[in-house]
Amino acid sequence: MKLIKTILVGAALMLAFTSQAAQFQEGQHYKVLANPTMARDASKVEVVEVFWYGCGHCNHFEPTVQAWKKSIQADVDFYQLPAQFSRQWKVHAELFYLTHALKVNDKVHQAIFDQIHKKRNPLLNKDDQKEFLAGYGVSEADFDKYDDSFGVRRQLKMADQMVRNYAISGVPAIIVNGKYMVNASSAGGMDKIFGVVNFLIEKERKTLKK
């Protein structure tokens, strides 16, 4: 009886996967990038979210991103990449890498979204950024030390080049293994993005095992 149950469960899972595979089509639910890029860790499936702190859609999507992160396996390398499509976007991208340099991004990432979208504080000037980060234990001296530092400038330049290579026109967008792009339009809604992403992860996982 137990064996029969196991077989039935396995068959159900296989049927679900087959249905899912048939559901997600290249060119419809995801786009193949014209210029594929190398993953930063070739031993893992890379998943990158391109975002902007000032984007309302990114703000609404962030809780979904964080919930999905908790489910990923060890062979998935996920990170976020700030786009720099305008001066304001670049200011927020610099803030993103500054908080990483200060080792407080895990504490302030969601709070930055909240400051901008709930408290209507755009965090576009240094004084406002200093005041905000002071609430998380960042001294003015440390802020000045890392602000516009070589490391931050280098990361900004690399991020900008990567986003340009992806040739995306809006955010949020998810790039899987430097090959595929998924967004709300292609997936059929913000809540369906990670269904497509998970499908592509499995597709790339098979490639890694060869």
Alpha carbon distance 119, 100 (integer Å): 23
Sheet holding 180-182, edge to edge: 31-32, 180-182, 173-176, 45-51, 76-82
Residue 18 has pLDDT above 90, yes or no: no
For the record, the structure tokens of 108 come out as: 């302030």
Alpha carbon distance 112, 105 (integer Å): 9
pLDDT of residue 1: 52
pLDDT of residue 14: 40
Domains of the chain, earliest start first = 30-209 (3.40.30.10)
List strand residue ranges (DSSP E) for 75-179, in order: 76-82, 173-176
pLDDT tens sequence across 72-122: 999 999 999 999 999 999 999 999 999 999 999 999 999 999 999 999 999
Mean pLDDT lowest among 20-34, 39-53, 161-175: 20-34
Q: How many C-alpha atoms does 175 have within 13 Å on its Cβ side?
A: 31
Q: With cut-offs at 50, 70 and 90, classify the pLDDT of residue 23.
A: confident
Q: In the predicted model, what is the mean pLDDT of residues 55-64?
A: 98
Average pLDDT of every residue of the chain: 91
pLDDT tens sequence across 110-155: 999 999 999 999 999 999 999 999 999 999 999 999 999 999 999 9
Report helix angle 87-101 to 126-134, nearest 10. Answer: 30
Token pair 């993103």 in the structure block, residue: 96
Mean pLDDT lowest among 10-24, 62-76, 86-100: 10-24
pLDDT of residue 171: 98
Q: With cut-offs at 50, 70 and 90, classify the pLDDT of residue 208.
A: confident
* Cα-based angle 49, 54, 60 (whole degrees, multiple of 5): 60
- Cα dihedral 72→75→77→78 (10° resolution): -10
Q: In the predicted model, what is the mean pLDDT of residues 62-66?
A: 97
Residue 67 has pLDDT above 50, yes or no: yes
Percent of the chain's residues with pLDDT above 70:
89
